[in-house]
Each structure stands twice: as C-alpha cells, then as structure tokens.
C-alpha cells in the first residue's frame, strides 16, 4: 500500500532531501534537517501523491485518514502536547510545499488547534493572555478565509472599526479585552455566513485545513504562477503539518531570517535580520524595524552562537548558500525552514568562485551554479537599486541595459541630436530597416508595438543597445512628436530613461550603476572555456560591435549582415539608384559606387577580427525594403493629382510607384531575397565578392591575417549554391591575380529553409560550411511569420500551453531541431569535417546552445553581449550533458 504520510521529529525523519518530488521542497528539507540533528519542530508531511490523487479522482485515498491519525498521535507524543488538551494544547501550522517553490501562491493556516478551551491552556503555557488571544483571532480569520472561504474583508472591517473607534493605528496596540471582543465578533461572522458555528474540534480543523491546502493547488493565482514559471500542472503540492513554536513569548523569544552569505554581493558573512518577542510575520509586516543579525550576538549570545553554528552546518551539508528561518521560543532555537538562497547574478558569481577556493565545490559545480541567462545582466549598466524612482510604464525587456536621453520620434532626429552632441532616446510605434541609422546613434529604443523578436528588439540586441519593446501602456504619436504614459504627456526633448533589463520606463534621468566585469566573473568564464567544446562567435555588422564581441571572448564573426551596411544615410540613395536601374549598365554603375564603401566595411570587420574568421553573408532582404512603401507613394500621388500640383513630382512618383509595384511582394519573407537576388542579379554578388577579396588583399599586404568566409543565404537547392559559389570563386581568382596576393577563404551556406536541411547531403558536396539560420528556419518549419505570429496568436499559444515556449526565443527541438540534426548528419556523411554553426537568435539562448552542443555543431554565434552567456551555456552543455 502506498505510504502517504511521512513523520519527522525527535531527531529522526521518514523522509530525506532526496524525496523532493514526493515531499515537496519544504517537507524534504524539514526531514533532512531533522535527520542531521537540527532542532526542527516536529510534524509530518502528506505527500504530493495525495494532491495528484485528489485532482485526478476528486477524492482522497482511503488509507489517508488512518495514516494522518497515526501521525498526529506520534506528533502529540513527540511534543508532549495534545490536540484538545486544555492544559498543554498542541498547536500546529498547515503549509503547502511543492517540489518547485511557489512562494505565496498557495494557502497556509497557522495556530491550528485553538478553541475556547485550548486557548486557556495556551495562556497557561505562555503566561501571555494577550498573545494567546491575538493568536486566536488571527487563527479564526485565517481559517475562515482559507478554509471556510469567507471574505477576509469582513474581518478586516471589524478590526479597522475597532481601531478607528479607539483611535489606534496598529493591531498590536489592541488590549486583551479588545481582542476578546474581536474574537466574539469574528465568530458571529462565521455563524452568519456559514449558518453554523466555527469548528472547534482541532482534528476537524486539521482535516479541513489539509483539504483546503490541497485545493489551493488549483486556485487561479497558483495556476497563473505555474503558467508564467512553466511549472507542470501535474506536479502537485505536499502539505506540511508542524507543531507551532512561538517567538513572541517574551524577551527570551524571537524570530528571524538569515542567509549564510550576502545574497546581493556574495560576501561570505551571515546576512539577515531578526526581532525579539515577535512572530515570523512581524518581520515582514514593517511595524517594527528588525535588527541586523549581527546584533543578535549581543542580545542573545548563546542563541546566536548556536544559530551561527547551525548555518555553517547547513551550508556545508547542502554545499550552497542557505536562506534560513528560525524562531527562538523561550531560549530554545528552532529552525523552521532552510532553502537554497536566491542571489543576484553578481553574488552568484562571487559565491561560486569563493566556494571553489574554499574547496567546498568543484569548478564544474561552480559553473553549474550560475544560470547563463542570469549573467547577461552583469554586462549592462543597471538602474541604481538605491534610486527612488517609479516607472511610468512597463514593456517587454527586449534588450538589456539602461538608456537615457531626450526623446525623439524619428531616426533623422536622432541623427541630428547625435551631431549636435545631444543624447537621444528613439521612440517609435515600431521600427523598420529605415530606422537603422537612428537606432545606431540613439541611447536606446522604446516601441509601443512588437514582441521580443520584433525588428527593434532584434536589432537592438545585435547592437547591444537597451530596448523596451511592445510597451503598450504608452500611446505614441509620431506626427505630434509626443507620447502619453500614465496620463502624462511626454514631448520631444523631454528626458526619459528606459531599463531594457526590466522593461521599465522612467521619467527623467535615473542614476545607474556601471557593470563590473569582476575578477570572479572573468575566472568563471575562463573555467567555462576549459570545459566547453562548442566555439562561440558573434553576430556583428560593424567594426565597433566586432571589437566588443572580441572583448567578450568571441572567436570570430558567425554572421555579418551586409544589408545593414546599405541602410546608412550615404548609401541608401545609391542603393535606390541601383534598384531603380533600367538596365545592366546602369545597375553596374550604381554598384561601382557601392563597391569602395563595401570594401571599407569589410576592411573594418576583418581588421577588428584579425586572425579570426569573419562570416560575411551576401545581400539578403528583398530589394523593396530599400524603397518607400507603395501605399505612401500612392497617397502622395493621389493628393498631388487632386490638388493639381507639382507635375514633376507626379511624374517621379509615377515611375517610383511602377518600380515599387513590380518589386512588391505578397509574402516578402518567402519572396525574391537571399541567393535568389544574386542569381537574378549576378552583378550584385560580383560586387560583394570583389569587395570581400579586395579588402582581404589590402589587409594581407599590411601583414594582417584576414580570414573571410563568404556565406550564401536562403539556399534551397544545391544548384543555387553552385551558381553563387562560381561567382565568388571567379571573383577571388580575378582579384588575387590583380593584387598578386592570395588569401585563404571558404564559401558556405545558410541552412534556413527546410529543403536545405533535407538535401544537406548534396549541398555539402559543394559547401565548405553550414550555418543554421534558425530565425528563418523556425518561420518556415512552423509556417509562422515572425512579424505576424507574435502579435496575433503566438502569445496566446504560449499562454494556453499549445506551445511550451515561443519558438523564436527558445529553439524548437522537436521540429526545427530535428531538421538541424538531420542536416548535420547528412552533411557530415558527405563531408566528415564539415564545419557547422548556428547564427540565429537562438545562438545566445542557453537551452538552445545546449541543444547545439548535443547536435554536434562546431560553434554558435550570437549578439556580442550574449557571447559570455553562450560561453557559459556551452560549458553547461558539457558538464550537465
């Protein structure tokens, strides 16, 4: 028969810390502490299996009642107290405790066991009538709320009224008589609401409370929390029933919370606070100011010494920082709870390194202790935690860091501000490639639309620039150059601060703290490098970003998007000229103007990455992205015609509209882009290849070591690749001959449509490397347009758990991952030493990096600021794998 109830107490427990799934975190730790000799109030844990049983079948297992009765008897014996004992009554707490902590989400009942008779016993035991009545009224209110489901407001009203009438501010100013009156009134409410009196049999109280806690697993709050934190619904909670101890029994009693090390800084020093003559909830209630834990050494030296020793025992036992709750009842120290202490990223790093130095844990364990996502924050400035500010709006934390400046509402204004030496913050409803030059000079970007992978978010992350995206709480008017947030109108020139790490938007300039790449952090990354197999490169489109990436440890550029280079103010007009060209000679003329600029781009990139590979992707977006929109042009034309104005512009518009119409596409994502451009307009690929090789030759002559890797985008058939490779190889020979220098180079391809993955074996016959473009591969594998899906249905999909994650943030291993594995396998059958990488957004997302390691990729490539994250995740892949 399944055992459902596990007792602990008197130095012995039926459970242990290994039984978290069954006993929940709290229950397992209580058992574990009991077993290692820590003084824990006795009690028992009802397992999570009872919870899942209940939620599956709508009733409890038959054997539960008997087991519970036995456990209660055992507890009574252990404590030398009894339920309903008028002399020495047993009071207990009933608490939830799942395997994964869900703080505050489920219900708790304290002081259970009280009734008019046992109350007298409590008074006798404690000699504190006021405390006993206070406990009683609290119990009635809590039980009524949690178990009887009577609106808590009704009880609060009586309390408030009483205090108001007496002119009191705090509950603890109430006299014993006041409390007696309140208890009487509370009971009346119960009678009125439930048409029966408050249950005064402690066993009944216990049964009802346990039932309520199990049911609270299914309350809205808990469901929502699990949804947000991706906790499975079938995990279930355990219920812990534990003897109450009281920290409010006078001067020899107290209660507190402490961390074995400082959770903010990581400093190895007991950190926490306590209150004398108080209950746990008083510490957080803010009525009295708790004292720092060090002061306990003066006030209760014996207890402090005892506690201090226990914290050491617990940290050594769990080999991690502990967050410990204690109560001192009449000089006896009880430990109520210990758990892994939460910590800041900075503390996590310091603690991990210190613990290695203290020989408590291995380097591998230290690496495991740090969540890769967490350290992202260490690389960006943060809002000063001491700053007293209130956000005026909150959007998505799209790209970390703090940005502050005068608000501007178009890219050109950002450029003007920059030229005049003013810092600006670019506010847009959403951004488009036309805004790139403005984004590049702004201190940060704030948009009211778009998700975590909107244009603004992706580009900002690439640039390492703070971005708050999809901030729907603000109303942007680009025409009026203003936005409204929290009822305030913010106009062009007003100073605003955004925090891309939290998504908060603040009015005015907010103080920040600069990130420190501490020695410990550098050490952790060094350890990670020794453990990882995967290479880590960066996605960067300009020398500045490339340099940054190198500082962060990038071992090359995995993706340099050449199109971003054409959106610059000086290039866009020439690009337009090229697109508008009527014939080949005209187009070549425009391309010849772009050639020296593009050559300079590549010189900059290859110089910054001297000695490391730079993967240069040829032009990818459809050409119409470089032209104004069909709709705007048509509205302008219609307007001019109606007014019979400016015939010259009308003619110009007519031509432009014709060109735009001929280029316009129904589904640009699946349209004339990628290598399809280079195949229809080989002269574009020729120009780009020439620029790559001329740049390489120039650097080589300077004595540098440029390593260019040309990457052909959007290949779906090997013949497309062959077509483009031929152009590249021919240009290379031509340039090398002219320059009398040779530079080693590779030509490879993006794998970003399913067919490329499916025919990878053939493509590998010609391609020297693969790089998975998982953004587009995700779009085509799911048939999801990123631009449309996130706003229209993807959010709901994740909310309703139709998909576990947004596949544009976390790589979909089941579908997209399957294609990746297939392609790697087939590619390596053809070419065993084929180099394979990934350059989608996923290259910097830890779980995706771990997948890439398992799929045997050679490297991941991500935005510069994610490089340390990827380094650590790559180490995790090896350690945890």
Nearer to a copy of itself, 4 or 766 (CB): 766
Sign of CA dihedral 213, 219, 222, 227: positive
Which residues make beta-bridge pairs with 259?
271, 323
Nearer to a copy of itself, 412 or 818 (CB): 818
**Dihedral (C-alpha) 236, 237, 239, 245: value to the nearest 10 degrees?**
180
**DSSP-derived secondary structure for 457-475:** HHHHHHHT--EEE--TTSE
Sign of CA dihedral 486, 488, 493, 497: negative
How near is the Cβ of 671 to a copy of itself at its closest, in Å?
4
Contact 78, 34 (CB under 8 A): no
Contacts of 463 (CB under 8 A, 6+ apart): 439, 440, 545
Nearer to a copy of itself, 454 or 504 (CB): 454
The token pair that represents 730 in the structure block: 């021919």
Contact 618, 562 (CB under 8 A): yes
Side-chain half-sphere exposure of 865, counting CA atoms within 13 A: 23
Give CA–CA dist 381/401, Å, rounded: 5
How near is the Cβ of 783 to a copy of itself at its closest, in Å?
4
How near is the Cβ of 226 to a copy of itself at its closest, in Å?
17
Q: Is 455 a catalytic residue?
A: yes
Write out the residues near a copy of itself by the rule CB under 8 A: 630-631, 634-635, 638-639, 642-643, 665-672, 674, 676, 679-680, 714, 716-717, 719-720, 723, 752-755, 758-759, 776, 779-785, 787-789, 792-793, 796-797, 800-803, 812, 814-816, 818-819
Buried b (16+ CB within 10 A) or exposed e, 603-617: bbbbbbbeebbbbbb
Which residues make beta-bridge pairs with 325?
257, 337
How near is the Cβ of 668 to a copy of itself at its closest, in Å?
7
How near is the Cβ of 758 to a copy of itself at its closest, in Å?
5
Contact 523, 367 (CB under 8 A): no
How near is the Cβ of 436 to a copy of itself at its closest, in Å?
18
How near is the Cβ of 529 to a copy of itself at its closest, in Å?
34
Buried b (16+ CB within 10 A) or exposed e, 196-211: eebbeebeebbbbbbe
Give CA–CA dist 388/347, Å, rounded: 23
Give CA–CA dist 703/178, Å, rounded: 90
Nearer to a copy of itself, 155 or 784 (CB): 784
Nearer to a copy of itself, 814 or 833 (CB): 814
Taking Cα atoms as reference points, which of 748, 733, 736, 729 lies closest to residue 696? 736
For 58: left if phi > 0, alpha if psi spans -120 to 50, otherwise beta; the answer is: left
Give CA–CA dist 840/776, Å, rounded: 8
**Dihedral (C-alpha) 786, 787, 793, 798: value to the nearest 10 degrees?**
50
Give CA–CA dist 154/826, Å, rounded: 69
Nearer to a copy of itself, 65 or 665 (CB): 665
How near is the Cβ of 437 to a copy of itself at its closest, in Å?
22
Nearer to a copy of itself, 341 or 451 (CB): 451
Give CA–CA dist 147/140, Å, rounded: 10
Q: Dmax over Cα atoms in the chain, in whole Å?
A: 105
Give CA–CA dist 42/336, Å, rounded: 10
Nearer to a copy of itself, 371 or 818 (CB): 818
How near is the Cβ of 67 to a copy of itself at its closest, in Å?
37
For 835: left if phi > 0, alpha if psi spans -120 to 50, otherwise beta; the answer is: beta
Contact 149, 128 (CB under 8 A): no
How near is the Cβ of 767 to a copy of itself at its closest, in Å?
16
**DSSP-derived secondary structure for 687-729:** HHHHHHHHHHHHHHHTT---EEEEEE-S--SHHHHHHHHHHHH
How near is the Cβ of 4 to a copy of itself at its closest, in Å?
32
Nearer to a copy of itself, 255 or 685 (CB): 685
Q: List the catalytic residue out of 380, 437, 455, 876.
A: 455
Distances (CA, A) of 205 to 97, 331, 751: 19, 30, 64
| Phi–psi pair at 239, nearest 5 degrees | -125, 130
How near is the Cβ of 242 to a copy of itself at its closest, in Å?
40
Nearer to a copy of itself, 101 or 723 (CB): 723
Nearer to a copy of itself, 666 or 740 (CB): 666
| Phi–psi pair at 768, nearest 5 degrees | -90, -15
Nearer to a copy of itself, 612 or 819 (CB): 819
- In sequence order, what E strands does 400-460 have? 402-408, 424-428, 444-447
How near is the Cβ of 583 to a copy of itself at its closest, in Å?
17
Contact 246, 136 (CB under 8 A): no
Taking Cα atoms as reference points, which of 268, 244, 241 lies closest to residue 255? 244
Nearer to a copy of itself, 120 or 637 (CB): 637
Q: List the catalytic residue out of 467, 560, 697, 839.
A: 839
Give CA–CA dist 416/258, Å, rounded: 53
Query: Catalytic residues, which ones?
Result: 455, 839
């Amino acid at each position: 028969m399944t055992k459902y109830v596990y007792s602990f107490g008197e130095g012995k427990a039926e459970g242990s810390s290994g039984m978290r799934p069954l006993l929940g975190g709290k229950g397992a730790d209580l058992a574990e502490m009991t077993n290692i000799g820590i003084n824990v109030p006795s009690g028992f844990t009802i397992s999570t299996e009872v919870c899942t049983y209940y939620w599956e079948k709508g009733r409890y297992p038959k054997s539960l009642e008997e087991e519970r009765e036995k456990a209660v008897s055992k507890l009574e014996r252990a404590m030398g107290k009894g339920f309903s004992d008028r002399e020495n009554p047993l009071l207990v707490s009933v608490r939830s405790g799942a395997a994964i902590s869900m703080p505050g989400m489920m219900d708790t009942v304290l002081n259970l066991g009280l009734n008019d008779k046992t109350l007298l016993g409590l008074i006798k035991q404690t000699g504190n009538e006021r405390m006993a009545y206070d406990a009683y009224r609290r119990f009635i209110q809590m039980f009524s709320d949690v178990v009887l489901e009577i609106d808590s407001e009704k009880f609060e009203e009586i309390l408030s009224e009483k205090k108001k009438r007496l002119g009191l501010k705090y509950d603890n100013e109430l006299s014993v008589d006041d409390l007696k009156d309140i208890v009487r009134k509370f009971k009346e409410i119960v009678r009125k609401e439930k048409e029966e009196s408050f249950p005064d049999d402690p066993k009944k109280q216990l049964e009802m409370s346990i039932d309520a806690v199990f049911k609270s697993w299914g309350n809205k709050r808990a469901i929502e929390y699990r949804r947000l934190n991706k906790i499975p619904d079938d995990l279930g909670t355990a219920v812990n029933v534990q003897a109450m101890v009281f920290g409010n029994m006078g001067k020899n009693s107290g209660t507190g919370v402490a961390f074995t090390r400082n959770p903010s800084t990581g400093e190895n020093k007991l950190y926490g606070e306590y209150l004398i003559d108080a209950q746990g909830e008083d510490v957080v209630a803010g009525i009295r100011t708790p004292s720092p834990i060090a002061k306990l050494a003066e006030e209760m030296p014996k207890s402090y010494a005892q506690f201090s020793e226990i914290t050491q025992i617990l940290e050594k036992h769990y080999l991690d920082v502990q967050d410990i709750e204690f109560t001192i009842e009449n000089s006896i120290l009880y430990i109520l709870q210990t758990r892994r202490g939460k910590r800041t990223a900075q503390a996590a790093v310091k603690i991990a390194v210190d613990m290695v130095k203290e020989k408590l844990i291995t380097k591998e364990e230290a690496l495991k202790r740090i969540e890769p996502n967490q350290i992202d924050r260490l690389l960006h400035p943060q809002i000063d935690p001491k700053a007293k500010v209130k956000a005026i709006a909150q959007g998505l934390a799209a790209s970390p860091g703090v940005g502050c400046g005068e608000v501007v509402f178009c890219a050109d204004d950002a450029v003007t501000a920059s030229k005049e030496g003013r810092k600006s913050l670019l506010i847009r409803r959403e951004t488009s490639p036309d805004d790139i030059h403005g984004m590049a000079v702004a201190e940060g970007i704030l948009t009211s639309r778009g998700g975590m992978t909107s244009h603004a978010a992706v580009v900002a992350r690439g640039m390492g620039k703070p971005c708050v995206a999809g901030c729907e709480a603000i109303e942007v008017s680009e025409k009026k150059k203003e936005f409204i947030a929290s009822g305030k109108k913010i106009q062009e020139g007003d100073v605003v601060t955004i925090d891309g790490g939290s998504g908060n938007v603040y009015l005015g300039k907010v103080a920040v703290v600069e990130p420190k790449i501490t020695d410990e952090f550098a050490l952790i990354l060094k350890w990670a490098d020794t453990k990882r197999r995967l290479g880590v490169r960066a996605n960067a489109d300009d020398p500045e970003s490339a340099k940054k990436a190198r500082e962060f440890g990038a071992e090359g550029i995995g993706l340099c998007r050449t199109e971003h280079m054409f959106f610059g103010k000086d290039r866009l007009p020439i690009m337009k000229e090229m697109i508008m060209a009527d014939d080949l000679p005209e187009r070549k003329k425009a391309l010849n103007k772009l050639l020296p600029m593009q050559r300079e781009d590549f010189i900059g990139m290859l110089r910054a990455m001297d000695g490391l590979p730079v993967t240069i992707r040829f032009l990818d977006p459809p050409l119409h992205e470089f032209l104004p929109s069909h709709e705007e042009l048509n509205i302008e034309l219609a307007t001019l015609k109606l007014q019979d104005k400016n015939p010259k512009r009308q003619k110009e518009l007519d031509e432009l509209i014709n060109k735009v119409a001929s280029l316009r596409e129904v589904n640009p994502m699946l349209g004339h882009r990628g290598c399809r451009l280079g195949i229809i307009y080989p002269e574009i690929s020729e120009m780009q290849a020439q620029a790559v090789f001329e740049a390489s030759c120039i650097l080589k002559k300077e004595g540098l070591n440029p390593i260019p890797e040309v990457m052909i985008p959007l290949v779906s058939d090997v013949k497309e690749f062959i077509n483009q490779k031929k152009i590249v190889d021919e240009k290379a020979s031509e340039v090398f001959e002219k320059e009398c220098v040779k530079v080693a180079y590779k030509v490879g391809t993006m794998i970003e449509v399913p067919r490329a993955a499916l025919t990878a074996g053939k493509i590998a016959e010609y391609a020297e490397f693969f790089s998975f473009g998982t953004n587009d591969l995700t779009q085509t594998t799911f048939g999801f347009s990123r631009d449309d899906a996130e706003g229209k249905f993807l959010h709901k999909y994740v909310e309703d758990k139709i998909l576990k994650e947004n596949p544009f943030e976390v790589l979909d291993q089941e579908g997209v991952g399957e294609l990746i594995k297939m392609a790697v396998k087939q590619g390596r059958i053809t070419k065993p030493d084929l180099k394979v990488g990934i350059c989608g957004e996923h290259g910097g997302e830890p779980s995706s990096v771990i997948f890439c390691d398992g799929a045997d990729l050679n490297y991941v490539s991500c935005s510069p600021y994610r490089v340390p994250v990827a380094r650590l995740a790559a180490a995790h892949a090896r350690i945890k794998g």
